[in-house]
Amino acid sequence: TFVHTGMLYWQRPVFLPCLFLKVTEEAGNISEQNKKKDASQAPTPVIMFPGSRVNSTGGLRRQKRDWVIPPINVAENSRGPFPQMLVSIRSDQDQDISIRYSITGVGADQPPNEVFSIDPVLGKMFVTKPLDREHRSSYHLRAHAVDMNGNQVENPIDLYIFVIDMNDNRPEFKNQVYNGSVDEGSKPGTYVMHLSAFDADDNTTANGMVRYRILSQTPHSPIPNMFTINSETGDIMTVAPGLDREKVSQYTIIVQATDMEGNLNFGLSNTATAIITVTDINDNPPMLTSRTFSGEVPENTVDVAVANLTVIDADQPHSPNWNAIYRIISGDPTGHFTIRTDPVSNDGMVTVVKPVDFEMNRAFMLTVVVSNQAHLASGIQSSLQSTAGVTISVKDVNEPPYFPTNPKQIRFEEGVPTGTSLTTFSASDPDRLQMQQIIRYSKLNDPANWLSINRTSGQIVTTGMLDRESVYVKNNIYEATFLATDNGSPEASGTGTLQIYLIDINDNPPALVPRESQICERMNKNVNGVNITAADADTDPNAGPFVFELPNFPSSIRRNWTIARISGDYARLALRYQVYLEPGMYEVPIIVSDSGNPPLSNRSVIKVKVCPCDDNGDCTTLGAVAAAGLGTGAIIFILICIIILLCMVLLFVVWIKRREKERQTKQLLIDPEDDVRDNILKYDEEGGGEEDQDYDLSQLQQPDSLEHIISKPPGVRRVDERPIIPESQYPIRPVVPHPGDIGDFIHEGLRAADNDPTAPPYDSLLVFDYEGSGSTAGSVSSLNSSSTGDQDYDYLNDWGPRFKKLADMYGGGDDD
């Protein structure tokens, strides 16, 4: 290796590899010395390809050893000018053939592209822009040498480019404000909190080595330097004693971070704020504001605050170091009082939890001590003001009378006569220190109204017969409640309950159970029967065992039936062997007796249904009907009656059908399509029109005389009124013709109309309803006919088939 005209050449150290390393070191020293010179005067290193050579046959011939190419160092943030030459790459074959040079890799032909470039002819490599080590600290490129045909002339060489760090980044804190805490009273050297700053520069150099220091502390109490910080780690610790939350609860510290190992002349700095909260410890015992407190409580009251204890505590409010706990250490052995803490004010409220009695205690002298939820800090002693005396005075009030024995129980037999004195239920007045009071008694609750109580003495007397079997008696006990009232001011009353245990007597005869059953009509060796028992409202020994027996009268009972005892409460009723009874319902009387002293008997009747049975001993269907009490003859009679009734109904239906058929065979004189029975339909009657709300119903009737028409002045007559001329007398006919004679009815009416000169059409006979007066429309019913002259009705033939009948009646010519 040698230096020529400012250019540095690297030859192959085939025989002298050690010399290469030495010369490289010298070249590095030369480069280090030239850093102070202008960049234009710095020598440009030349890198020769150490790879294989091309032999005479056109192939490559490998050397015995390749060179180790040293890395290329480039300072970041260079100001140029750009492009700035870094190194020159040469092949020792460029004297013989034309060589083309190129580079590949990240920063050349891979993103980020065109950071580095090379002159393909001269082999000079350039950097085209400033580099940023924090963005990318190194590049790996490969240099290639080919001939004009693109054939590889040299093996590619690796180029490593390192970006030299510059101190161009300040230390940065993650947060601008840090929060920490430390207990008050902490000793020097107590860890408080940690701060850290990050420098993007190379931390292996002074550019990235950060140091910390405290710039200021607020407030300066008790001294300006209460805290210190580790310059390398950023840990803040206490440096002096005297932290007291009650004096200073928070400190604000400004911390500075500087790189270049804290050199303020060359390093870059940044600051952050540390807020240190002094946390509370229980170093202040609670103190009562007075050594004595007092209060008053009425007797027999509970859950009432009678005194209020106030306390002072300098620790943090609403914390365990401040919350007060009150205890009564003497003066209340029976536990009448407790002290509850007000969660807002921290005061103690002396509360009555058990009623106090003025006659027993007129006053209480309590000793109270107060403490915190948290224990006092080490070395802190309790204050003498943590103890106080509380005097509670008891106020006398009028107390209600009370029954010493409540409830009071007594025992009596049921059925005692009315007016029997049961007991004296008296009450006592607890107000012994007041004037003698009078107690009056009254009944509060007596469900059966069996008792009464003397108003002054409290004596209880029966007003009705006590019955243990009553619905008001539960488990043999009858309860009544009484009231005792004094004459104090105000009046007070107390209640007492009297429980009467009723002893049972034999006052209820037994009743047979069941009352109905069934049995087969034929018994086989008395293997079947009816199990019977009895029910008695009384209890032992006035109930079972029961005695069952058949009465002597009538004699047929004992002749047909038998009773066999099964147990003390059960027996079996059965037919006697080889006795046959007709199916039916039989009433069997049975005498039942209980075990009372004396015993009570009852004659009960059981209805036994005797019926034919199948092989399983169950009543058959026919047998059940027969057993219901109907014999065979009765059943046959009922069936015959049903058949006769059905025949009568059938004959009536046939008669109705036949009569209907006879009516249909008699034809009318008119065509079926003109049959008035089919064409005249009544739908509904909707009343009059708008102007007839107050019309006179008499106008709808046929007038009996014509004077109201004759008396009208000329020119006022209506065209739809009947003509004032003598009318023909028609033969008298039934008002409602028989439906079968409708044809004759119409025929007679037609003949009479043809022979009557005053017959229709005139309008008065066509009035169906009266719709009011003043109609603006004339009558549309008139055919403009004359009652005296001949009229031509042939035009009715032109009106269609519905007027054919009228045309035949009035347009028939001389035949009519």
560-574 confidence digits (pLDDT tens):
888 888 888 888 888
Which residues make Cβ contacts (< 8 Å) with residue 665, sequence separation at least 6? none
Task: Kindly write down the DSSP assignment for every residue of 687-751, as one continuous string.
Answer: ---TT-TT--GGGGSPPS-SHHHHTSPTT---TTSPPSSPPPPPPP--SS--GGGHHHHHHHHHH
Least confident of 199-213, 447-461, 629-643: 629-643
What is the predicted pLDDT for the residue at 553? 85
Show the tokens assigned to 19. Answer: 């010399």
Average pLDDT over residues 483-508: 87
Write the DSSP symbol of residue 794: G
Burial 731-757 (b: 16+ CB within 10 A, else e): eeeeeeeeeeebeeeeeeeeeebeeee
Show the tokens assigned to 588. Answer: 């069997």
Q: Tell me what the pLDDT averaged over the chain comes to.
A: 79
- Beta-carbon-side half-sphere exposure of residue 136 (alpha carbons within 13 Å): 13
Which residues make Cβ contacts (< 8 Å) with residue 235, sequence separation at least 6? 191, 192, 193, 194, 229
Helices assigned H by DSSP within 339-447: none
Q: Are strands 152-164 and 138-146 parallel, antiparallel or unpaired?
A: antiparallel
Distance, CA of 366 to CA of 328 (rounded, Å): 7
Average pLDDT over residues 37-56: 55
Q: Are 328 and 367 in contact (CB under 8 A)?
A: yes
At 674-704, the pLDDT tens digits run 555 545 555 555 555 545 455 455 555 545 5
**Of 183, 180, 181, nearest to 195 (Cα)?**
180
Average pLDDT over residues 396-404: 85
At 266-317, the pLDDT tens digits run 999 999 999 999 999 998 899 999 999 999 999 888 999 999 999 999 999 9
Least confident of 597-606, 654-663, 767-776, 785-794: 767-776
Q: Are 465 and 448 in contact (CB under 8 A)?
A: no
At 221-240, the pLDDT tens digits run 999 999 999 999 999 999 99
Q: Enumerate domains of the chain plus CATH numbers.
A: 72-164 (2.60.40.60), 172-279 (2.60.40.60), 287-395 (2.60.40.60), 408-503 (2.60.40.60), 511-611 (2.60.40.60)
**Of 726, 708, 727, nearest to 718 (Cα)?**
708
Q: Which residues, listed in sequence order, are joined to residue 72 by a DSSP beta bridge? A: 161
This prediction's pTM: 0.46
Q: Are strands 44-48 and 84-90 parallel, antiparallel or unpaired?
A: parallel
Q: Are 109 and 146 in contact (CB under 8 A)?
A: no
Please report the sign of the dihedral spanned by the C-alpha atoms of residue 560, residue 564, residue 570, residue 574.
negative
Cβ neighbourhood burial of 264 (10 Å; 0-12, 13-18, 19+): exposed
The number of residues making up the chain comes to 816
Show the tokens assigned to 193. Answer: 């909190």
Cβ neighbourhood burial of 108 (10 Å; 0-12, 13-18, 19+): buried
Distance, CA of 570 to CA of 532 (rounded, Å): 6
Does 11 or 182 have the greater pLDDT score? 182
Distance, CA of 358 to CA of 486 (rounded, Å): 18
